């Protein structure tokens, strides 16, 4: 009986706990070898040993704080040069959900560095190799606040809006390159203490259920997966309304007539 082709190696950031650890577990059980990236070497080593024993897959790890330029560069170099990598899963993120006026500037900078800069740089490092090798997968974990920032507010929501917009742009750019791009938009996730301004644990989904839903969405060809959303038509209608705004609507030589300025007022 023919065997299924090896799905390659998945590099998962934020892999020592929560969503990242759940992705590592599920991808290993799907046959992927793994490179796990997170800050805590002890947790990474324990997870790598457990998954290797349980699944028989090769599991490597890199202890790296992705807000550290030198550590980030090490992971970028691996993504550029390691031909085994077929899948990049960007789950690493920092949540500081307080309003802007209550957010420490250093924490704000670190959050943007991890949620935006590191994610974009790792994707930039990985994609050229995926294109050369004929395909692959990029999964970016965003958040429902990237769609509705008013639900939580603060800079955190803006960083997750970047993840969603970046994924949309990437999907469009790579449409004919056999590369799947998925943006996963969870709500609250358990276990964990929700931020002060977030909804309570009664609305929180477990990381395992979230990742199972996200992978089912990936298998079904979804670009945006919102694991809690009961009716996908709500997202489809939202997206259709956004796409109705064409370049001709958004970029013209003159201001709209309603403003009464420029040539439109003549």
Question: What amino acid positions are annotated as catalytic residues?
Answer: 156
What separation in angstroms does the CA of 150 have from each of 90, 114, 153, 188? 24, 22, 5, 15
Q: Are 44 and 55 in contact (CB under 8 A)?
A: no
The closest of 159, 161, 141, 127 to 225, measured between CA atoms, is: 141
Burial class of residue 103 (count of CB atoms within 10 Å of its CB; 0-12, 13-18, 19+): middle
The closest of 236, 216, 129, 127 to 171, measured between CA atoms, is: 127
Neighbours of 218 (CB within 10 A): 17
């Amino acid at each position: 009986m023919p065997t299924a082709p090896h799905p390659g190696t998945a590099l998962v950031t934020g892999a020592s706990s929560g969503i990242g650890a759940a992705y590592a577990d599920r991808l290993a059980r799907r046959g992927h070898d793994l490179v796990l990236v997170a800050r805590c070497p002890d947790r990474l080593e324990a997870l790598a040993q457990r998954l290797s024993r349980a699944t028989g897959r090769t599991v490597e790890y890199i202890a790296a704080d992705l807000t550290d330029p030198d550590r980030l560069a090490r992971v970028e170099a691996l993504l550029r040069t390691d031909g085994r990598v077929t899948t990049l899963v960007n789950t690493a993120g920092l949540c500081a959900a307080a309003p802007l006026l209550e957010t420490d500037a250093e924490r704000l900078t670190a959050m943007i560095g991890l949620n935006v800069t590191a994610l974009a740089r790792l994707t930039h490092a990985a994609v050229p190799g995926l294109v050369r090798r004929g395909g692959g997968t990029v999964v970016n974990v965003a958040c429902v606040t990237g769609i509705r920032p008013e639900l939580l507010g603060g800079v955190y929501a803006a960083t997750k809006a970047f993840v969603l917009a970046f994924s949309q742009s990437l999907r469009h750019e790579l449409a004919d390159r056999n590369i799947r791009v998925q943006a996963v938009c969870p709500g609250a996730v358990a276990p964990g203490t929700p931020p002060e301004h977030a909804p309570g644990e009664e609305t929180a989904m477990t990381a395992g259920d979230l990742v199972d839903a996200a992978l089912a969405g990936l298998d079904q060809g979804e670009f945006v997966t919102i694991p809690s959303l009961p009716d996908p038509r709500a997202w489809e209608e939202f997206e259709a309304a956004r796409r109705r705004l064409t370049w001709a609507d958004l970029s013209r030589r003159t201001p709209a007539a309603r403003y009464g300025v420029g040539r439109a007022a003549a």
